[in-house]
Copies of this chain bind each other. A is one copy, B any other.
């Protein structure tokens, strides 16, 4: 549970209640789509507006506080920006799990980037498959 107020102010944003509960919802589950955020928040704060969630997600991305995670066949999810990691994406439940980069992954990609004279900004590695929970569920 981060100090969202400080985080927001450091980016020149006002620390509003709505922003903090959006961030809290995302951090709580790790990865959430716009609609998921709205569904969750409506239960506790029925007056929250979908437009506000959209505006904040856009703004928080521009400030680098949130990162978009685009997913094949689904709506993008959003996560709190953090050091690079791999996503395991379940094609059944849509769940996303973070995992650290394997140690040698840098060296593996470096020759390709150098050869292409590509100014790398960000790596995005996603492994799609069926998570352990969904495998168990489908066996029973």
Contact = CB atoms under 8 A, between A and B. Distances in A.
A104 B86 CA distance: 17
Nearest to A109: B102
Contact of A127 (B124, B127, B130): B124
A3 interface: no
Interface in A99-128: 99, 102, 104-105, 108-109, 111-113, 116-128
Given A72-B124, A128-B124, A116 B88 contact: yes
Interface residues of A, number: 37
Interface string A49-78: 000000000000000000010111100100
What copy number does this chain have within its complex?
Answer: 2
Contacts of A72: 68, 70, 124
Nearest to A112: B99
Contacts of A131: 116, 118
A40 B8 CA distance: 43
A109 to B, nearest CB: 6
A27 interface: no
A118 B102 contact: no
